[in-house]
């Protein structure tokens, strides 16, 4: 068999495999009939779903425990390059946790996105692409699917969760909603001031080629972690 014929045959085989996962639209799948919810412990449900798709996560109690976790997170490189540069959202939760004290103790340089946005384009992107870790909070987190909903707005640029090779989202339980239907309802109440971009993040970046081989970390961070502070 020629190389061309072999190539085309592999495409036909991959296409046939793909048809096996075709999804049928169910017109009865409304919020009333298809609602799943997040169980009695939304944090546990969210973390279980998040880790099931390749992310990592844990829960701690109190600001001091959150700072202790971050200090350990910055020190644990997993055998890779040390974390020296961090870009971070400007967010009330992150400021309330006083994370700057952890960065100072670890000798880590941190820049908030609103500071970068005020710089020249060349300087902004040089700093953004050099970051080892991006830290955000979230607008919402969906317990049913293990999904973060990130609204891009002033001080909370989407690239913070996309460019660095490592990503950490810090949440508190009040940001969790049980089901994807609940997320849509929450967004509906904010439709007057919603940004032009809302990213839904479910685990690390993944992509699949025509041979159905899954690759992680191609279009975004391959190492993602969620910390829920109770």
Q: Give the confidence band of 21 by pLDDT, cuts at 50, 70, 90.
A: low
Q: Give the confidence band of 215 by pLDDT, cuts at 50, 70, 90.
A: confident
Kindly tell me if the per-residue pLDDT of 108 is higher than 80. yes
Q: Do 149 and 206 touch, CB atoms closer than 8 A? A: no
Kindly tell me if the per-residue pLDDT of 28 is higher than 70. no
Q: Number of helices and strands (H, E) in the chain?
A: 8, 12
Q: Render pLDDT for 64-106 as a digit per residue (tens, 0 to 9).
A: 999 999 999 999 866 667 899 999 999 999 999 999 999 999 9
Q: Which of 69-73, 183-187, 220-224 is least confident?
A: 220-224
Whole-number Cα distances in Å, 24 to 19, 27, 29: 11, 10, 11
As a whole number, mean pLDDT of residues 196-213 equals 80
As a whole number, mean pLDDT of residues 156-161 equals 90
b/e sequence 79-111, b meaning 16+ C-beta within 10 Å? eeeebeebbbbbbebbeebebeebbeebebebb
pLDDT at 15: 75
What is the architecture, at CATH level 2, of domain 46-229?
3-Layer(aba) Sandwich (3.40)
- Measured between alpha carbons, how far is 192 from 177 in angstroms, rounded to an integer? 20
pLDDT at 35: 82
Chain position carrying tokens 């085309």: 8
What is the spatial order of strands in the sheet that 176-177 belongs to? 176-177, 140-142, 147-151, 198-201
pLDDT at 86: 96
Chain mean pLDDT for the chain: 88
The two three-digit tokens of residue 86, written as one number: 């961090």
Which residue ranges make up each domain of the chain? Answer: 46-229
């Amino acid at each position: 068999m020629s190389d061309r014929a072999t190539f085309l045959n592999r495409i036909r085989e991959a296409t046939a495999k793909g048809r096996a996962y075709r999804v049928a639209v169910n017109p009865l799948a409304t919020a009333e009939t298809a609602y799943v919810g997040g169980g009695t412990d939304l944090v546990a449900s969210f973390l279980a779903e998040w880790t099931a798709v390749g992310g990592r996560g844990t829960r701690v109690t109190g600001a001091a425990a959150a700072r202790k976790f971050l200090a350990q997170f910055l020190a644990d490189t997993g055998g890779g390059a040390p974390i020296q540069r961090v870009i971070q959202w400007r967010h009330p939760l992150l400021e309330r946790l006083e994370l700057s004290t952890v960065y100072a103790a670890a000798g880590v340089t941190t820049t908030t996105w609103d500071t970068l946005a005020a710089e020249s384009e060349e300087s902004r992107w040089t700093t953004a692409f050099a970051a080892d870790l991006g830290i955000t909070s979230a607008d919402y987190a969906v317990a049913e699917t293990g999904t973060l909903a990130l609204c891009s707005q002033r001080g909370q640029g989407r690239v913070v969760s996309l460019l660095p090779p490592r990503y950490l989202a810090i949440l508190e339980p009040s940001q969790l909603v049980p089901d994807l239907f609940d997320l849509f309802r929450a967004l509906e109440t904010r439709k007057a001031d919603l940004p032009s971009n809302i990213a839904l993040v479910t685990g690390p970046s993944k992509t699949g080629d025509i041979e159905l081989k899954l690759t992680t970390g191609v279009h975004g961070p391959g190492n993602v972690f969620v910390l829920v502070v109770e």
